[in-house]
Structure 1
Amino acid sequence: MSPVFDYETISRNLHISRDVIGKFEKEAMNEFPQDNMLRELHILRALKAYASTRK
């Protein structure tokens, strides 16, 4: 299944490490195990919030 929210490309553009992405993915999988779209949205929002704190 293709992603609804392309958080991987966005994370590369934001220069976020794979370790950080993995932590958000694990958290989202625990919170939304059956819903890919909500999981991707959660990861995307977490990445954007994380990036905003690094400015």
Structure 2
Amino acid sequence: DPFQGFVPVQRKLDRGDALSPFIRHEASGLFAVPGGAAEGGYVGQRLLES
């Protein structure tokens, strides 16, 4: 959950950073990276079939 992890960290960084007024956040990403494929399986199988 980005609101539990990303947002609090950014707020803490903002409090003590003199460059914050000059920085504008444009975007962020949250990615799912599948593990390797088991023998006889395919990449992302555990992610897609769970």
TM range (shorter): 0.3 to 0.5
TM-score, normalised by the number of residues in structure 1: 0.31
Q: Which has the larger radius of gyration?
A: 2
Where relative contact order (Cα < 8 A, 6+ residues apart) is larger, the structure is 1
TM-score, normalised by the number of residues in structure 2: 0.33
